[in-house]
Chains A and B, each alone.
Chain A
Amino acid sequence: MTNKRAITQALIALAALLALPGWARAADGATAVDTGTTAWMLTSTALVLLMVPGLAIFYGGLVRTKNVIGTMMHSFSAMALVGVLWAVCGYALSFGGNVLGGWFGWNGDYFLLRGIDETIMSSGVPEYVFAMFQGKFAIITPALIAGAFAERVRFSGYCLFIAVWSLLVYSPLCHWVWAEDGFLYQLGAIDFAGGTVVHISAGISGLMAVLYLGGRRGYPATAMQPSNLVLTLLGAGLLWVGWFGFNAGSAVESGLSTARALTVTQIAAAAGALTWILIEGLHHGKATSLGIASGILAGLVVITPAAGVVQPGGAIALGTTASVGCYLAINVKNRLGYDDSLDAFGIHGVAGMLGALLLTFFIRASWVAENGGASWTVMSQLGIQALGVVVTILYAGILTLVLVVAVDKTVGLKLDTASEMAGMDYSLHGEHAYALVNPN
């Protein structure tokens, strides 16, 4: 008799709850859809995707006219390839539970995203949205690497490289830093939106690839002018706007932490841009548009790991430092002579490292009070940040080198000289980006 009554009571309670407005069928934990947060996360997903064509435009404007299509194809093919791979197994490998000692994640329910058709996460956001949001990060990371070896890779080799890289390098790094049982997450490493997972990994991978593939024919003696700096500036603008989705969206809520992330993102980008103008003005007497675009990016990259924990003053400090650091790094590159064509390491790698490490000195007090614990000190956090940076550099760097060699020896990655001279656009894609340059 008591059993029946208990069941009846439960059913009545459930019916009452279901009658409440805004309640959505949920698979676990009976979480309601938070429409405000979900709306923001949907928007963020779109904003981060916008960053990928934005990156294509940014890079496209920087390469020579004969290589614009080839360069933009690197970003677009990442959207295609990683877009599919992420849904099939990338999300599972990144956000599933630990397997193989925590090297990867895995969750059979995430394969083809088949198990999350009705899942609402504890944040009130449908898991589909979170999966798609994270997928955009997976897409843009290999597109960033392409900036290092621009103008000299074969398309088929590139596609194979990013497919394997995404599964073997990106997913584990993402898992270690952002999955709840990832070891860096457990240690308390702070990486709000991907300073290590996206930028340091892309930067170091680009550097390793370039060291193996070598430079463009004629570098550095031959001048290789940007085809269209107007496009580059447009791309930088799209990236800046999209970055609000990248950073503020990583809050996975629509509230105070989102507001904080958006604010420091804006301020760091502006500080980076301003600093770069000043440096160039002092160093060369002229501020360049490419410089301001680079400063914007340096500021945005440096704030990426830090957007959740620093305040505006810290954002200005980080943005300024990033521009100084990246400017120096690019000058060192010119002196060392390796051809990191579009400064994937010089900007994304260096600013990512600076952000991941220096954020430690600008963490807001309330974060420390809430998350610090008894033994927390700035130095202890710096140690954890440094560990994250070193792990990323070693893992991404070594695996990328192995991968680049493997792809080059099998399918072929380095473009042959004749095709490089003719240009990727016609050699690899049978098209001319700037047909308007020739009367027809």
Chain B
Amino acid sequence: MHTTTSQTIGPYWHLLEDKSWADLTRFGAAGEVITVEGHVFDGAGAPLTDACVEIWQSSPEAGDDFTGFGRSATDSAGHFTFKTIKPGPVPGPGNTLQAPHLAVTVLARGLLIHLTTRLYFEGEAANENDPILGLVEAPRRGTLLARETSAGVWHLDIHLQGDAETVFFEI
């Protein structure tokens, strides 16, 4: 048997949308609450106004109060936003340690199969030795680094195509 073929999420996926899912703290999770936000742009620099952005984090460990999963639509400016708990480091392959990160999935009309990337936090010392960032050529690593634009607010734009194209992963 082979994995079922992916098809686009299309422009009408919002029927699924429950805006509360963008708040990963809604069931009462404890920890350092942060906002993660940004835009999604196409190859012409235009915002994606119909995208679905999902995040998943393996830290803090998911449980009753913390699903570790969030979903946000992009608005008319291509903007998404999440409220979550800042992740800590997690084990990597072998004896390595991964820097704090979020897995980010982009789904949209025009994407036949979802795109997978990561968001890291600029300024984390552990980024230097992260085993996944180390697989990305140095000039493109910045496409994965969110910047703290005000206390507790982390910003990262995602470019699907073009000079600033985000690094996407095959997992």
**Is the pairing of A and B real?**
no
A interface with B by C-beta (< 8 Å): none
B interface with A by C-beta (< 8 Å): none
